[in-house]
A = this chain, B = another copy of it.
Amino acid sequence: MDILEGIYTRRSVREFTGEGVTRDEALEMVKAGSWAPSGLNNQPWRFVIVRDPEVKSGLARLTSYGRILEEASVAIAVFLDRSSMYHEAKDHQAIGACLQNMLLAAHAMGLGAVWLGEILKNAPAVIGLLGAPENLELMAVIAVGRPKRAERVSNRKRPEELIVKEL
């Protein structure tokens, strides 16, 4: 799939078939994420891959979007390694670039994925459940599965609303 086509056709996928996501596919998403740019190339992203149904259900109970995680084959928790940080806003941006690469990679492989941010409200419980080290700060959880149907409806502001000036 062409890059621009991929960027324009990627959607948040929230309904999955029962079919599984392979370990190699999850690792490809992580690899794609890791090739995002970061300030000073500090690569502050860290990952926990969750396939175990009990742990995944535990995660599901920590978000209002639990059904999505229950249906998903794999959850990938993305963390910021605070010991690698150099600038909070720039590190958060780098994590966002990493997440976008992961979502695009999933789309490229025919998988569906959605970036779950609301679960951050329960970040300490997520970290406890996953047994993540203390230097890691939860940034997002990505739910991944095989898309149940093509979800193609989304919308964006027009360029005239977004481009403030051309100089």
Contact = CB atoms under 8 A, between A and B. Distances in A.
A164 to B, nearest CB: 5
Interface residues of A, number: 71
Count this chain's copies in the assembly.
2
Contact of A133 (B30, B120, B139, B164): B164
A120 B52 CA distance: 42
A138 to B, nearest CB: 10
Given A27-B159, A166-B49, A90 B117 contact: yes
A1 to B, nearest CB: 5
Contacts of A140: 93
Query: Considering the complex of A and B, which 5 residue pairs feature the smallest CB-CB distances, nearest first?
Result: A96-B96, A93-B96, A97-B100, A92-B92, A3-B108
